[in-house]
Structure 1
């Protein structure tokens, strides 16, 4: 029977068969010629990695079991015990927890760089500094890094630039085209897009780093499962359409919130008043994504009342699904920061983050208006 599926089947197997010793030797002598064990590689995880690699314009990529796993792989591609890394102060809380709580235990130290000083790294660089970790669009205040300028500054100091591109997605920005050495995604978010997958992808600008990432993923057992890979590939096929709708809805909501008397501030790169609006417009080709944050009064009960009243934005501490949701950075992603760090970053009691979905925008606006009133 000649079976030719249009969609790649789910290879739900832990191991693959060899006919004889000749096939076994071919596997080791010709990498990529066949499969042996799904921790080492699987057609479904490879398909996802190759699809994101193509979108980002990379030299190779790996799919991992989570966004945290992909951040770990990216850092380990360049670092060893005794090394020092720089990290943007405006960073996902999980990234800082990995650096502070775990990589510090194996002798990798970190210095956090305020956003305003990202393009002047000289004062932070040490002889053992290897890289800078930053985000295209920061979480949760939506600050936008000028990646070309940042890459030039890193390379001037012989540092690698690792960019978490999760908030932007390759539809808005391709960091490798702007000089980054690695770009990565929590596939859980926009790449998959339906809140039913936990996964990550790391993409390298050069083949040597791509090979190192594959080695790390295999040896540490970071590989993504076949089923999750298959679901992520399915979600990826609508990424371009979804990002356009996310961006359209988020801009309309940001404009509404900007005019609402109960809202103290709105953080969205698509607003002309945003400090990095110009670079966001250039890097995003006129789209600004589906994430925004806004501030209510610094009163926990006022925030809780808003959360109870809103219907279309359930309190779910993640983001980027087709269905809208909200999160509370002070109590979730950034709760482990010190009060001083939280204050410095502007993460206050009244800060609420919205992940704007692709529902009819007039329904979302009506829901927010009734909740805020």
Structure 2
């Protein structure tokens, strides 16, 4: 058989790898990374994805997982055990809130939510058993921007770890580890893969010891990613920089359009000058503000339904970051599990719509949004 040198890594769609004899088996344990044994422990495709994301984030090592939620779980378990306490930014993805409040509390890990105006003064929230703070680079769904460098100084002062969910930004816009975070987490499902055809997660560690612990947790809990989805995600990652630039350019144009529209009462987008963290977002994001925005129309369910039904090319799809534009409804999807009081406190009202801006021709997107808003 001729020597084969593929330009793209093949799909290693196998659950197990073979050994020549006992000597080769012992070599596997003596020299980790020289060979593969079982795909839950490691696979060339998942390793390729991890290494590429790690390089983009500038980490000491990355672990890919079966979803963004399993990446957050792995991150928390890296630092916490029963009896520990975690802090979490009050405005956070609803799934993260459910994991902390409903599941990890059952395992003996307590959680306290920190309001946005108190996030840089943690003294009254940190307890002797506090281990970490979880926050998002840009919050879901109202795009509040964290000053990661400032927050890293605050968490270090109290001796706790800082875990940043960087999903909305991607390493093209922000690199949390370079700003002092201990771990950067992504739902690879979103921008890193980018084509709405993969469910995956990744956590990137600033310290090698954290990487080793995270990897062990993912292996033991069976949180690994399949070879095929790893391959798909690695393929999507190749166009990340191009896609993010187009997502961001389109989102900025749409944000300006919505800001001026009489049917829209408020727009949340860090690229707008009126956004409270606009200057921070500009500095921390290298002049890019991402592809996510939210806006509010009339706080009336029927008005929201009329708007959604009138859209011709933008589907209602409760996820984000695909190459095609879609919208979501935080009150009924991502933040559904929160109490009415929590939803109101965060500003998630009946008329709030989250828009994941794709990479299509922006003029066509604006035209579709405009004609749908006319029917509200």
Range of TM-score over shorter length: over 0.9
**1:311 to partner: Cα distance:** 1.7
Distance (whole Å) between structure 2 residues aligned to residue 27 and residue 121 of structure 1: 46
Q: Once superposed, which parts of structure 1, at least 4 consecutive aligned residues long, lie more than 6 Å away?
A: none
State the Cα deviation string for residues 259-314 of structure 1 (Å, max 9, x = none). Answer: 00000000000001000000100011000000000001110000010000012220
Match status 1:90 vs 2:97 = no
1:26 corresponds in structure 2 to 27
State the Cα deviation string for residues 117-158 of structure 1 (Å, max 9, x = none). Answer: 100000001110000000000000000000000000000000
Distance (whole Å) between structure 2 residues aligned to residue 226 and residue 185 of structure 1: 18
Distance (whole Å) between structure 1 residues aligned to residue 267 and residue 319 of structure 2: 19
SS at match of 1:352: strand
1:355 corresponds in structure 2 to 356
Match status 1:245 vs 2:246 = yes
**1:252 to partner: Cα distance:** 0.2
Q: Which moved more, 1:175-184 or 1:307-316?
A: 307-316
Distance (whole Å) between structure 2 residues aligned to residue 180 and residue 152 of structure 1: 9
1:331 corresponds in structure 2 to 332
2:36 corresponds in structure 1 to 35
Distance (whole Å) between structure 1 residues aligned to residue 180 and residue 140 of structure 2: 22
Distance (whole Å) between structure 1 residues aligned to residue 32 and residue 331 of structure 2: 46
Q: Write the mapping of 1:211-360 to structure 2, written as runs, cut at 5 A.
A: 211-360=212-361
**1:31 to partner: Cα distance:** 1.1
Q: Write the mapping of 1:169-180 to structure 2, written as runs, cut at 5 A.
A: 169-180=170-181
Distance (whole Å) between structure 2 residues aligned to residue 99 and residue 271 of structure 1: 32
**1:100 to partner: Cα distance:** 1.1
Cα root mean square deviation, aligned: 0.4
Distance (whole Å) between structure 1 residues aligned to residue 317 and residue 242 of structure 2: 23
SS at match of 1:77: helix
**1:178 to partner: Cα distance:** 0.1
State the Cα deviation string for residues 316-351 of structure 1 (Å, max 9, x = none). Answer: 000000000000000001011111100110000000
Task: Give the TM-score of the pair, scaled to structure 1.
Answer: 1.00
Q: Which moved more, 1:305-314 or 1:165-174?
A: 305-314
Distance (whole Å) between structure 1 residues aligned to residue 350 and residue 8 of structure 2: 47
Distance (whole Å) between structure 2 residues aligned to residue 145 and residue 309 of structure 1: 35
State the Cα deviation string for residues 347-370 of structure 1 (Å, max 9, x = none). Answer: 000000000000000000000000
2:113 corresponds in structure 1 to 112
Distance (whole Å) between structure 2 residues aligned to residue 329 and residue 113 of structure 1: 20
2:80 corresponds in structure 1 to 79
Distance (whole Å) between structure 2 residues aligned to residue 297 and residue 27 of structure 1: 62
Distance (whole Å) between structure 1 residues aligned to residue 21 and residue 176 of structure 2: 44
1:48 corresponds in structure 2 to 49
SS at match of 1:287: coil
SS at match of 2:87: strand
1:209 corresponds in structure 2 to 210
Distance (whole Å) between structure 1 residues aligned to residue 290 and residue 150 of structure 2: 21
Distance (whole Å) between structure 2 residues aligned to residue 225 and residue 17 of structure 1: 18
The answer for unaligned runs of 5 or more in structure 2 is none
SS at match of 2:172: helix
Task: Give the TM-score of the pair, scaled to structure 2.
Answer: 0.99
**1:101 to partner: Cα distance:** 1.2
SS at match of 2:274: coil
Distance (whole Å) between structure 2 residues aligned to residue 158 and residue 31 of structure 1: 32
State the Cα deviation string for residues 24-70 of structure 1 (Å, max 9, x = none). Answer: 01111111111000000000000000000000000001110000000
**1:163 to partner: Cα distance:** 0.2
Matched residues, number: 373
SS at match of 2:171: helix
Distance (whole Å) between structure 2 residues aligned to residue 202 and residue 312 of structure 1: 34
Distance (whole Å) between structure 2 residues aligned to residue 240 and residue 106 of structure 1: 39
2:147 corresponds in structure 1 to 146
State the Cα deviation string for residues 190-209 of structure 1 (Å, max 9, x = none). Answer: 00000000000000001000
